[in-house]
Amino acid sequence: MGEMNYSLFFIDTFLLERTLVYIVIMQFFRRGSLQVEIIKDITMIEGIFVEGLIYGIMVLGVFITFRILDFPDLTVDGSFPLGAAIMATMIISGYNVFFALAAAFMGGIAAGVVTAVIHNRLKVPNLLAGILTMTMLWSVNIRIMGNRANLPLLKNETILTDIVSWTEGIIPSDYTILIFFFFVAMAIKFSLDLFFRTDMGLTLGALGNNEQMVISQGVNINVMKAIGVGLSNGLVAVSGAFAAQYQGFADVGLGTGIVVTGLASVMIGEFIFTSNKIVVLTFRVIIGSIIYKAIMYLGRYYGYHIGLTPNDLKLLAGLLIIACLMIAQGKKRNYFRRWKNDQA
């Protein structure tokens, strides 16, 4: 009887130990999966801000043409990969990375000036002029990359690899890239703020609002349009150059649909902030870019719960623009009704 009780006690103890081990293992894996989810969420948030700041530079360029100049410009779909192509080609060829970035900026300016010349000299509508330049840039970009559609940069030194190496051991690489792009985006933003307070910048703003008034002041509007569209596409090309370095490659199709991203970001920013001050106007488009990227990330990572796939993101972006336009129109109607009631 004693031996039987002892054997039962041994079996119960063995089962208890196995149960405890099982609970510990399950808690370990549960905690590990939780840590993985937290790391994944942190990485996603960091990626949202980095890409939002990179594309925010592009959105600043789109903002200049669409909102300041009132010049619907589709050149950006070609000037974005143009900046990436110039940057990648010059880096692979051994040029200084900052010189390559300046060359990408100049290449974007040249693309914008070509669009302005087609519009001004040939009297082609601005929308069609942008489409023509964008179409021609497809062949130009392939030619720049040596008749290749893609150039990898994973084994080459870029501005980002240099920045990370300079801060190695001080700041984690992911946060280094985030901080770097934050300062770059803010530097470009404040530079534009200062530029639009100069006589030339104020003239560009007036040109978009009242072209006849600017003509009556004796200003050559053709030159001013070339400056504005060139500056816009220069910023777009710089954004493309940074995007190529961040993603590790330059591709001829990198700018496909980029104008939709720019327009959506501008409209989201306008929906959040309402102001006529240039400091706020440039700030809200960057915020709009970050929010747009957050929406796209959420659609990409969690959209499968409602049957969304990455192929549906363009549809989501289009619906987002339509929603912003409808809300903006609703606000205008309400403002007009209040104004009429006040007058009555």
| Mean of per-residue pLDDT scores for the chain | 82
- Quick one: pLDDT at residue 12? 46
DSSP assignment of 238-292: HHHHHHHHHHTEEETTTTTTHHHHHHHHHHHHHHH-----HHHHHHHHHHHHHHH
- Quick one: pLDDT at residue 333? 57
Looking from the CA of 116 toward its CB, the CA atoms found within 13 Å total 22
Prediction pTM value: 0.83
Q: What is the DSSP letter of 151?
A: E
Question: What mean pLDDT comes out for the span 130-149?
Answer: 92
Question: What mean pLDDT comes out for the span 230-235?
Answer: 95
How far, in Å, CA of 329 to CA of 192, rounded? 28
The answer to whether 250 and 153 are in contact (CB under 8 A) is: yes
| pLDDT at residue 215 tops 50 | yes
Which pLDDT band holds residue 246 (cuts at 50, 70, 90)? very high
Q: Tell me which residue has tokens 């009556």.
A: 216
How far, in Å, CA of 310 to CA of 319, rounded? 15
Under DSSP, is residue 150 helix (H, G, I), strand (E, B) or coil?
strand
Which pLDDT band holds residue 15 (cuts at 50, 70, 90)? very low
| pLDDT at residue 200 tops 80 | yes
